Amino acid sequence: MENKFNTVLYEKLGNIAKITLNRPEARNAINLQLTTELNAALKEAGLDSGVRSIIVTGAGNAFSAGLDLKDFLGKSGLELRRFIETFYWEMTDVQYGLGKPTIAMINGPTLAAGCSIAFSCNTIVASDRAIIGYPEINVGLIAAMHVVLVPRLVGRHKAFELIFTGEPISATEAERIGLINRVVPHEQLEEKTMELAEKFASKSPLAVKLTREAFYRGLDMEYRKGIADAADILCILMESNDTKEGMKAFAEKRKPQWKGA
C-alpha cells in the first residue's frame, strides 16, 4: 500500500495499524508537518473499522529526540501557537476520542516532546536500549504537558527531579517508577509489542471503545461520578450483541465472534 505521508509511515498489519515517525536523519525530531501527519494517521486508524489496535514507533535508532528546535528559530508567536495547538491540543483530543488502544513502541531515545507523543498513548513498551528524559530546562523551555502529567504518574518529588535536572533515565528505571509499562530486550521489542497489540485487538471493539471512554472520563471526574458513569456503560454493554456473544461463548467454551455492535 502506498504511503500517503512524508514524515510518518502508515502500515496495516492485519487488524493492527503501525504508525512510524519517519525523520530518522533528524532522530525523528518533531516539526509542524510531522505532528500534522501523525494526527492524520491516528485519525485514519481510528476511522478504519478493520483496525483494532494501534502502534506508534520511530524509524532508525530513536523514538524521537523532541522538538526540531532549528525549525522554530525565528518563528513568530502566531506560528508557534499554531504548532502548539496542533501538537498538544489536537493530538490529545485525537487520542482521547480514538476509541482504540494505542501502544508507544519506544525503540530508542525518547526525549522532551518525544515523551509527549509516547505518553499520549495508552501503554508504553520500551527497548532496554531506550532512555527517557525531559531536557527542556537545559535550553530554557518548560516540559509543558509533563509538569502536569508526570507528578500524577510518579509523585511530585520524583517528577520534580526529572523535570528540573533535565537528566534522562533508563527504560528500566522508568519502568521501576511507573512511567512505562514494560521493558524488553531490544531484539524482542517488535515481537512483544505486537503480542500486546494482538491481545487488545482480540477483544470486542465495542467493549474496548466504551470502556476506554469510561476510563478517560473517570480520570477527569470526581471518584463517585466516575463509578456511576462506568456503571452506566456496563448497562449499555449488557444490551449489546457483542456482550451477549461473549457471555454465550464463555458458557460454550469457545472463542467469541465479535461484530462491534
Strand 16-21 to 102-106 pairing: unpaired
First to last CA, the chain: 29
CA 62/CA 153 separation, integer angstroms: 23
Residue 182 belongs to what H/E stretch? strand 182-184
* Identified catalytic residue from 136, 167, 190, 191: 136
Q: In what order do the strands lie in the sheet with 169-170?
A: 110-111, 131-133, 169-170
**What is the C-alpha to C-alpha distance for residues 250 and 244, in angstroms, rounded to an integer?**
10
Q: Tell me, what amino acid is at 60? A: G
DSSP E strands: which ranges in 69-157?
102-106, 110-111, 123-127, 131-133
The number of C-alpha atoms within 13 Å of 191 and in the hemisphere containing its C-beta is 5
Using a 10 angstrom Cβ sphere, with 0-12 exposed, 13-18 middle and 19 or more buried, the burial of residue 93 is: exposed
Give catalytic status of residue 136 as yes or no: yes
The set of catalytic residues is: 136
